[in-house]
Amino acid sequence: MRLGVFDSGVGGLSVLKSLLHAKLFKEYIYYGDTARVPYGVKDKETIIKFSLEALDFFKEKKVDMLIIACNTVSAYALEILKKQAPFPVLGVIEAGVLAVKNTLKNKNSKILVIATKATVDSHAYKQALLKEDFLQVEEKATGLFVPMVEEGIFKGSFLNSAFEYYFNDLDFNPDALILACTHFPLIADSLGEYFGENTKLIHSGEAIALQLQQEFKLMSIQEEASVKFYASSDVKNLKKIAKLWL
Ligand code: DGL
């Protein structure tokens, strides 16, 4: 099976990494819209337009299934992509919520969702979690983490200052922290240290790999997978980052 993985840029490599680790597909086509990243500060119409253009790319590549690694695209364009694609399309939000259900047994658990401004403004996570009766959900836009990760800042005092900036007014310690942006798994260790061991971290990549195993009954395969990388700008840089992150 040939799997397409779409992201606004390089961040979706964190999702690709989990998928490669789970060994569920033989072929992967990764496409990052690096010419137009970030999507997380754009409006709904623009996000949908760019996502439909990406869909045309994956149609040409004849993928069997498409994973939307980008939370922002999952929040705004998933339904239209599902309608227009000739193959199954999965976003990361449903998978993330499934992972929360698997992790937290108490519906009164406190959940913090960190994401781009666009994802937070959509309230897609909050609504999906409310449907599952998780009532204590706070969403926070932490957009500065995106360029920091792209600069290769995964730990240290600069990142800790950003944690202080965003989280010092939080009046609760979350039971679960949803890393609702492709870039955030790369700072998961630092976030884990900041919030402490009582906060469970929910990672989109791991969540989607689990969903594919649980709901789609996909099993690990032994064969070595092939991965092809495409980008709307500077594919060399995407490949360089892929070497570093994967
Ligand atoms: N890929 C985006 C997401 O997961 C983060 C980067 C962007 O803003 O495009 O929401």
Architecture of domain 2-91+206-245: 3-Layer(aba) Sandwich (3.40)
Q: How far apart are CA 64 and CA 106, in angstroms?
A: 37
Which residues are tagged catalytic?
70, 181
**In this predicted model, what pLDDT tens digit does every residue of 180-222 receive, in sequence order?**
999 999 999 999 999 999 999 999 899 999 999 988 899 999 8
Taking the domain 94-204, which CATH number applies?
3.40.50.1860
Q: Give me the residue spans of the domains in the chain.
A: 2-91+206-245, 94-204
Atom number of ligand 1 nearest to Cα 73? 10
| C-alpha of residue 134 to centroid of ligand 1, in Å | 25
Cα separation, 74 vs 89, in Å, equals: 10
pLDDT in tens, 116-143: 999 999 999 999 999 999 999 999 999 9
**Ligand 1, atom 1: nearest CA belongs to which residue?**
70
Answer whether 175 contacts ligand 1 (Cβ < 6 A).
no
* 222 CA to centre of ligand 1 in angstroms: 32
pTM listed for this prediction: 0.96
How is 2-36 classified by DSSP, letter by letter? EEEEEESSSTTHHHHHHHHHHT--SEEEEEE-TTT
Nearest atom in ligand 1 to the alpha carbon of residue 41 is 8
